Amino acid sequence: MSEKAFVLHPVLKNRPDTGRSVQAGLEEIKNLTAAIDLDIACAESVVLNQVNASLYLGKGAAERVGAMIKENEITLAVVDCALSPIQQRNLEKLWNCKVIDRTALILEIFGDRARTKEGVLQVELAHLSYQRSRLVRGWTHLERQRGGKGFLGGPGETQIELDRRVITDNIAKLKKELEEVKRTRLLHREARRRVPYPIVALVGYTNAGKSTLFNRLTNAGVFAKDMLFATLDPTMRLLKLPSGRRVILSDTVGFISDLPTELVAAFRATLEEVLESSLILHVRDVSHPDTQAQKADVENVLKMLGVSEQVDRGLVEVLNKSDLLSATDRAALLASSARNDNRIPVSAVTGDGLDALLKTVEDRLAAGRAEISVVVPAADGAALAYLYRVGEVLARRDGDDGCFVRARLDDADLRRFENSFPQVKYEDSRPAKSC
């Protein structure tokens, strides 16, 4: 039987306008709680005039919640905010149950979902960093009672410092292991660079449908479910575009508002895959009431990762779950998207709009590519194969002097082609005719 939980969503009365509704915020924390199979006995939002230093909530609100917890025999309370160690300890005393905040809940979810060695290590590192700041909670009966040094200090200081040292040592060990994993991933990344396929990264808010879209495009069979953080570990698959050009499609971990700083730091290396991409596709759930606020959260995280230029220029927005909109809203979405090439309405479930999405990907990748006309010697199959594998062959004509080819290549690929095949002649004044 799963543990009974009370879910509380505090809202500051004078909070900055984030574009999020109180109800949507409550639903999100409920979904996060349900993601680790907790039985939600009660859930409510509470409006606060200000944050109480000792309880976070006002005393009256805290006592009222405590009465509900006692009445329903609840053993766990989830508070949707970042609690200080003192606030957490005081609430546990008042409510006589275990209390976890938003950070601890997300850490628990990540710990349950991580599958790869790197993912497990990153979650463990984030959890230890979080735990280190809260050691005093577990040793309140041993807290120091008087000043001084050595044996003049309280008996608990030694135990707390001992535990802190153990955690610090474990953190150092984990960081060392992660460095080894990172080096391995770096080798894989270098190998991908030698296989000159552009990387297209899927990013978006958690549960926006990235993995479902990824599976639809690549037949990868990645775990996809209508739940928050169904995917944590990045996955890459080869995708063939309509022109025949091949790209690597990358599915990444979903973003969320108020992502714990411990996790931002821990998963930074994983999300750095986005920095290597030639194109970023921002997958959005347009059926969600907070879709605009979710968009802002994703863009803020991307800017933290160092892709501000692409964000400011405008990402390609994949407007997913358009099939869930009403007929009126869907018609309005299609009309507005028709005036903006960066907005592509799709449904990963039904397949609607995917042809337009692939064409957009092809157009974006082709933009800024150099177009060349060359004569490849008849015996030089390697150069011809390179153009077909890496570039986009626009036209070809076989002749007595060799094969006339007109193709598009990225600047880096063109330089590589020039260095690898110096025997190829360039025919800029005589474009090849299509066969």
pLDDT for the residue 142: 41
Task: State the pLDDT at residue 213.
Answer: 93
- Which pLDDT score, from 0 to 100, does residue 135 have? 65
Q: What is the CATH number of domain 370-426?
A: 3.30.70
CA torsion through residues 383, 384, 388, 392, sign: positive
Give the model confidence (pLDDT) of 98-130 as tens digits: 999 998 898 888 777 776 777 788 788 888 888
Question: How large a percentage of the chain has pLDDT more than 70?
Answer: 81
pLDDT over threshold 70, residue 178 = yes
4-102 and 370-426 agree in CATH topology:
no
pTM: 0.73
Task: Supply the pLDDT for residue 71.
Answer: 94
Q: Beta partners for 372? A: 407
Give the CATH superfamily of 4-102.
GTPase HflX, N-terminal domain (3.40.50.11060)
Q: Are 8 and 80 in contact (CB under 8 A)?
A: yes
Phi-psi region of 240 (alpha: psi -120 to 50; beta: other; left: phi over 0): beta
Domain boundaries, the chain: 4-102, 114-181, 197-366, 370-426
Average pLDDT, the chain: 81
Looking at the domain that runs over 197-366, which CATH code has it been given?
3.40.50.300
The predicted-structure confidence for 131-144, as pLDDT tens digits, reads as follows 877 765 444 444 44
The token duo for 269 is 């290396």
Task: Please state, in angstroms and as integers, the Cα–Cα distance from residue 433 to each residue in 380, 381, 396, 426, following that order.
Answer: 20, 20, 7, 15
Residue 86 has pLDDT above 50, yes or no: yes
Q: What is the pLDDT of residue 379?
A: 80
pLDDT score recorded for residue 227: 46
